Structure 1
Amino acid sequence: MDEHMVSALVSTVELISSTLDAAPDSWRDQLQTIRNTTASLELIDSTPNETRRRWQIPLISVFQRVAFADADNGGVPDVANWCLRQALTQLQLYPEDVDLLTLIGQNWLLRAQKSLAKIHHNERGSSSSGASYGHPLSRSEEERLAARSAIEAEDRLHAADYVEARGILLPATEYLKRAVDAARAQGRLNGVLLAAAAESFMSLGNVSSTRISGPYFHEALDYLREASGLQGYMLPAHLQQYLEEYGPLDTIT
């Protein structure tokens, strides 16, 4: 790709990014332009090149932003797949690149959102349709209900959405953990990355058996504590609530 084409591509990416900043719901309007690019562009560098890297990573990032603008409904698979393929290819040249590791981890985390949204919807429906009791329960009744709920929860883990979510979240946690470790080593650690890593481990814990989920939640809490201690960074509300509820005592087993 010659210098003129690169310049035009960079301008297009910057325009898409600024448009999304001003009107996030306009992402569908950007799809045709993005697909015109992804149909003919593959990032197949064979040697590291910092000049090319400086425009390639923002391009993948902006295209991935569009690909997962509606992550709960599955996003835009062809663009999401293109982004993952390019990032993985580039990672072979820059194996400790924090931005690439983060992009790959976020790609997997966002892929899981469709399954996680379906799980959340089904669990909410199940809890709202549960039996109600007109009298106080005895201790033995409470214990039986708790035991039954635990069995039902374990059984749900074998459902397709749970299996799919775990399979997608495992690489999300792997790459985001690598990103955190690389960022820490390079003095580039930031709250957004720590929050994403925490989100991935929390999500994996939520769809895993209680027999193995404890370490996932502990990892998430460690990241949240570290993020909350960074000057100038504020955790998203749901993560702050989680930290306040479980962080002080860390009672998760």
Structure 2
Amino acid sequence: MDEHMINSLMSTVDLISSTLDAAPHSWRDQLHIIRNITASLDITDSTPDEARKRWQFPLINVFQRVAFADADNGGVGDIADWCLRQALALLQLYPDDVGILMLVGKNWLLRAQKSLAKIHQAERTSSSSGSGHGSQEYPLSRSEEEQQAFRAEREAEDRLHTADYVEARGILLPATEYLKRAVNTAQAQNKIHGDLLSTAAEAYMSLGNVSSARANEQYFRQALEYLRSASLITDYTLPSPLQQ
């Protein structure tokens, strides 16, 4: 690809990015032009080239942003898959690049959002439909409370084996692996930043929420460790969902 084509491509990427900043809901308008590009572009570099990486990385990053603009409904599969393939191709060339590691981990985290959204909705429906069970005229006895707690625990354990939970865990495991690798690499290179830590924390917290009580403690502990580290970074504010 010659310099003129690269400049033209990057102008398009910059335009898509600025359009999304101004009008996030316009992402569907970008799909046609992105598909035209992805249909004929694959990263096949065999040796590292910093000049090429300078346009390859932001291109994947912006396209991934479009692919998962509606992550709760599954995102745009073909573009999401293209982004993951290209990011992994770059990672082969730059295995210690924090940005690429985060890009791959975030791709997996965003893939999990559809399953997580379905789980959240099912739990909300279940809790609202069961909200009348505790409104008896007389208080529950100790044995009745224990039975109710046991039933709730057993139902929660049973849910862990349903399709959405299994799928979410399967997707979140690589998300946590790549993001942990990104954090460790960033710390070794003194390049740690709040967005990386909070993204890694979100992945571990999500994995904990869909795992059994026997396994989730380690995930929640790792998430809290990342959140504490992020909160200590000057001029960084945790996203509101992670501030509880």
SS of 1:210's equivalent in the other structure is coil
Deviations along 1:60-105, one digit per CA (max 9) or x if unpaired, are 0000000000000000000000000000011000001101100000
1:70 corresponds to: 70
Paired residue type of 1:89? A
How far the C-alpha of 1:187 sits from its partner, in A, is 1.2
1:163 partner amino acid? V
1:183 is the counterpart of 2:201:
no
The alignment status of 1:143 with 2:146, answered yes or no, reads yes
Residue matched to 2:223: 220
Distance (whole Å) between structure 1 residues aligned to residue 80 and residue 241 of structure 2: 26
1:87 alignment partner AA: A
- What one-letter code is carried by the residue in structure 2 that aligns with 1:42? D
Amino acid at match of 1:132: G
Q: How far apart are residue 133 of structure 1 and its match?
A: 2.6
| Cross-structure match for 2:44 | 44
Identity of aligned residues (%): 71
Structure 2 CA distance, aligned partners of 1:154 and 1:132?
A: 21
Q: Give the Cα–Cα distance (whole angstroms) in 1 for the partners of residues 3 and 95 of structure 2.
A: 26
Tell me what 1:246 maps to.
none
Q: Aligned ranges for residues 37-116 of structure 1 at < 5 Å? A: 37-116=37-116
Distance 2:90 2:143 in 1: 59
Shift of residue 138, structure 1, vs aligned partner: 1.8
Distance 1:65 1:80 in 2: 9
Unaligned ranges ≥5, structure 1: 242-253
- SS where residue 237 of structure 2 aligns? coil
Partner of 1:236: 239
Q: Which residue of 1 aligns with 2:159?
A: 156
Partner SS for 1:124: helix
The residue aligned with 2:208 is 205
Aligned residue identity for 1:143: E
SS of the aligned residue for 1:46 comes to: coil
Structure-2 residue corresponding to 1:128: 128
- State the distance in 2 between where 1:34 and 1:207 align: 34
Output the aligned Cα RMSD.
Answer: 0.7
Q: Distance in 2 between matches of 1:151 and 1:133?
A: 22
Aligned equivalents of 2:241, 2:139: Cα separation in 1: 32
Alignment of 1:11-50 (within 5 A): 11-50=11-50
Corresponding residue SS for 1:230? coil
Query: In structure 2, how many angstroms separate the alpha carbons of the residues matched to 1:8 and 1:237?
Result: 38
Matching residue's letter, 2:203: S
The aligned length equals 241
AA aligned opposite 2:102? T
Distance in 2, Cα, partners of 1:172 & 1:45: 25
| Alignment TM-score, normalising by the size of structure 1 | 0.94
Taking the aligned partners of 1:183 and 1:228, their CA distance within structure 2 comes to: 17
CA deviation vs aligned residue, 1:142-165 (integer Å, no higher than 9, x gap): 111111111110000000000000
| CA–CA distance in structure 2, aligned partners of residues 236 and 141 of structure 1 | 40
Distance 1:60 1:236 in 2: 24
Tell me the CA shift for residue 141 of structure 1. 1.3
SS of equivalent residue, structure 1 residue 211:
coil
- Amino acid paired to 2:40: S
Q: Which amino acid aligns with 2:238?
A: L
TM-score under structure 2 length normalisation: 0.98
